[in-house]
Copies of this chain bind each other. A is one copy, B any other.
Amino acid sequence: MSKINHILQNSPRDIPILQATFGLERESLRINSDTHKLAQSPHPECLGSRDFHPYIQTDYSEPQIELITPIASSTAEALRFLQAITDVAQRSLDQAEYLWPLSMPPQLTEEEIDIAHLNDDFEYRYREYLADVYGKILQSMSGIHYNIELGKDLVQLLFAESGYSSLTAFRNALHLKLAQNFLRYQWLLTYLYGASPLAEPGSLKEKLEKPVRSIRNSHLGYINHDDIKVSYDSLERYVTDIESCVADGRLIAEKEFYSAVRLRGSKHNRDYLTQGVTYLEFRCFDLNPYSPVGIDQETLDTVHLFSLALLWLDSLEQVDAELAQAQELNDRIALSHPLEKLPDDAPLAEITEAMQAVITHFQLPSYYQELLEKLCRQIDSPALTIAGKLYQEAEQDSLALFGQKKGLEHHAYAWQDHYALKGYETMELSTQMLLFDAVQKGIHFDILDEADQFIKLWHGKHFEYVKNGNMTAKDNYVVPLAMANKTVTKKILREAGFPVPGGAEFSDKDSALRYYKHIQDKAVVIKPKSTNFGLGISIFKEAVSLEAYEKALNIAFAEDSAVLVEEYIAGTEYRFFVLDGQCEAVLLRVAANVVGDGRHTVRQLIDRKNTNPLRGQDHRSPLEIIQLGEVEKLMLEQQGYSPDSVLPKDVKVYLRRNSNVSTGGDSIDCTENMDKSYKELAAAMAKAMGAWVCGVDLIIPDKEKPSTVKQPRCTCIELNFNPSMYMHTYCHEGPGQAITPKILAKLFPEVSVSSDGKN
């Protein structure tokens, strides 16, 4: 059996050394933003059930929220998960609450701390016990746990060179070595990332004389009593020591053993001996208040590099003795002044040289070299560490005030672009909204194809695939294909007795031209059969000339090989969103426009309208910026204005003919004031089509008069099989209707979803 450092040092440079999976857990206290004291409210109801929630839990106390990422295949993915989960958590709180950005709690008394209201009786009693043994305030310190599992291929490759007969034995040796060396060099992480310099008066057993690096990582922090001694000399001894602590009552359970590193992968430590350790949990990270999620990308990667260096280094010989020494060093550094350099007895060169060796041997990208250089600068200048920076903040102001300021800043950041989901902004809005809902309710998700908006959601053994927000297994395959075909849609609706425009389909221009005599005195619409974005459509509200008709045919045939000539239906077009037989929303879309005030120019009015935070670009916002391009200028000119005309008071000018939201149009939620008869008609049309999700476009001449079976008083001009959802939720005008939570509730009826899912 070779030593692990030798195996690593002799391995080929192209082994996938960076292959690993990661998971993060972050604790944080909910704070009332009026009083800046611990929130006394219960865990938000909209977060669903803590019985199974994989992402958002409560930790020790009711206001101590715990955010847990799924297993990620890179640090970047882990951080992205944490961003999204943090975003959901922040926006699920009462808006008057924020998350405390520091590890040390704000000023608070034991009485304010309400043990988490968990259904599990053991968990509740365990927390009562912890209050007795450690005190509630100590339990309220928050931090980040960093879980790492070395890549399966990597471990396999190293194992192949190891001479070990069993993979399990090799993995145990690997992890034990990593854990030992982690404790041996933990002082470096304490120096770099310690971020609990001060404590509120009365919160510690000992009074601090001066600010320090990390109370939480010192003997004043979150550690077991002195009578808990656990050896890391061998896995066998580690397991046995903890078991004997539990057996004689020094620990209430194995998980009460607090250590900066924990072996993970089985529920009971003893199982590691037979089944092997799967991954390690590094528990020492204080919350970094400069990041909205409490940790940043560079920290994650530096710690990854640090972990690889730990494997590269020699193993300890006198394990427990040396670790006792290392612990003393760590405590000393944790309690050193934030602007104090590392003590001379810290074996700095060993670990930095190992990090350099890993970079060099495996030819890691230059990014890792830069991380190491930054680390060296922080060693040279303590003021560059987090504790150093916090000390300077506290010098200027109080740390409590800094915590309040940062907490509110992160809170504002979460509510900025509140229709989006942090980390997933490149996906379609509707998908972002659905992911938000899934995270909120504790439904697992996996992005199967990001560019294709293809996700998998699951709860227990029940899974659902979703594409583009509402393309699911709830619809059958052929119905959306029918809706994609305007001729088929019309045939089906007409046969079911619903009003659709008269007209004909042509696959060549000559036949379409011969049809002219049938429409020459009629108002008509000429449109390509299968496009969906309003391209190639000509509308003649009065009798069309042969010349204009031919021109319109040319335009339409340029878009599609089949063209529809339909009667023009006068009235207002509304979009009805129908889900599972129920009309959930009604939207009126109005072409891009501004209304004059007698003082500002058209250009100024547009600029002002564009300041609406809902307006953005490229469909990544619910409304689009109004442009002032050629099309808009021509429209203005036809109405007798230029961009620099001062628009008279109350005069409305349109800048586009088409009412699409995508060209700056306004969306007006009419769900509440649309007559029920039309909503029922739209739902009946979707039902006749067999559609679960359907956008029904109705032209209604006078919505004040209800629709009846004999007189529908409207015409259906289109059914849409993947109707936009976000536009119903975040509107230019009107309350807006949340759709994605309803989709989710229908997909997972077993997971109770509150009805008001609007973020």
Name A's B-contacting residues (CB within 8 A).
Answer: 14, 448-449, 451-452, 454, 464-467, 471-482, 485, 487-488, 491-492, 507, 517, 562, 690
The CA of A480 and the CA of B517, in the complex, are separated in Å by 44
The CA of A466 and the CA of B479, in the complex, are separated in Å by 10
The CA of A643 and the CA of B294, in the complex, are separated in Å by 73
- Chain B residues with Cβ below 8 Å from A488 are 448-449, 452, 454
If A449-B487, A481-B454 touch, does A475 touch B472 (CB 8 Å cutoff)?
no
- Contacting A485 at CB < 8 Å: which of B449, B464, B478? B449
Chain B nearest CB, measured from A404 CB (Å): 43
The CA of A480 and the CA of B481, in the complex, are separated in Å by 12
- Chain B residues with Cβ below 8 Å from A449 are 485, 487-488
Other than the given A448-B488, A465-B481, A471-B481, 11 more pairs (CB < 8 A) read A448-B482, A448-B491, A448-B492, A449-B488, A452-B488, A454-B482, A464-B478, A467-B481, A472-B476, A473-B476, A476-B476
- Chain B residues with Cβ below 8 Å from A466 are 478
Nearest CB to that of A446 among chain B residues?
B491
Chain B nearest CB, measured from A389 CB (Å): 35
A448, A474, A475, A562, most chain B CB atoms within 10 A: A448
A465, A472, A690, most chain B CB atoms within 10 A: A465
- Chain B residues with Cβ below 8 Å from A491 are 448
If A449-B485, A488-B452, A507-B451 touch, does A517 touch B14 (CB 8 Å cutoff)?
yes
Chain B nearest CB, measured from A676 CB (Å): 29
Q: Is the CB of B562 within 8 A of A451?
A: yes
Q: Is the CB of A485 within 8 A of B690?
A: no
Chain B nearest CB, measured from A324 CB (Å): 44
If A448-B492, A485-B454, A562-B451 touch, does A467 touch B473 (CB 8 Å cutoff)?
no
- Contacting A477 at CB < 8 Å: which of B452, B472, B487? B472
A478, A487, A492, A690, most chain B CB atoms within 10 A: A478
- Chain B residues with Cβ below 8 Å from A472 are 476-478
- Contacting A473 at CB < 8 Å: which of B464, B478, B485, B492? B478
- Chain B residues with Cβ below 8 Å from A475 are 476-478
The CA of A507 and the CA of B449, in the complex, are separated in Å by 12
The CA of A354 and the CA of B332, in the complex, are separated in Å by 117
Chain B nearest CB, measured from A543 CB (Å): 15
Chain B nearest CB, measured from A724 CB (Å): 17
Nearest CB to that of A481 among chain B residues?
B467
The CA of A492 and the CA of B446, in the complex, are separated in Å by 11
The quantity of this chain's copies bound in the complex is 2
Chain B nearest CB, measured from A694 CB (Å): 12
Q: Is the CB of A465 within 8 A of B482?
A: yes
- 5 pairs from A and B in contact (CB 8 Å cutoff): A448-B491, A449-B488, A454-B485, A472-B476, A473-B478
The CA of A549 and the CA of B14, in the complex, are separated in Å by 19
- Chain B residues with Cβ below 8 Å from A14 are 517
Nearest CB to that of A365 among chain B residues?
B514
Q: Is the CB of A477 within 8 A of B471?
A: yes
- Chain B residues with Cβ below 8 Å from A562 are 451
Q: Is the CB of A476 within 8 A of B478?
A: no
List the 4 closest pairs (A to B, CB-CB), nearest first. Answer: A473-B476, A475-B477, A465-B478, A448-B488
- Contacting A479 at CB < 8 Å: which of B473, B479, B492? B473
The CA of A7 and the CA of B483, in the complex, are separated in Å by 43
- Chain B residues with Cβ below 8 Å from A690 are 473
The CA of A383 and the CA of B474, in the complex, are separated in Å by 66
The CA of A475 and the CA of B465, in the complex, are separated in Å by 14
Chain B nearest CB, measured from A365 CB (Å): 10
Chain B nearest CB, measured from A76 CB (Å): 14
Q: Is the CB of B465 within 8 A of A479?
A: yes
- Chain B residues with Cβ below 8 Å from A481 are 454, 465, 467, 471
- Contacting A478 at CB < 8 Å: which of B467, B492, B517? B467
Q: Is the CB of A485 within 8 A of B452?
A: yes
- Chain B residues with Cβ below 8 Å from A507 are 451
The CA of A507 and the CA of B452, in the complex, are separated in Å by 12
- Chain B residues with Cβ below 8 Å from A476 are 472-477
- Chain B residues with Cβ below 8 Å from A451 are 507, 562
Q: Is the CB of B448 within 8 A of A487?
A: yes
The CA of A14 and the CA of B481, in the complex, are separated in Å by 37
- Chain B residues with Cβ below 8 Å from A471 are 477-478, 481
- Chain B residues with Cβ below 8 Å from A452 are 485, 487-488
- Chain B residues with Cβ below 8 Å from A517 are 14
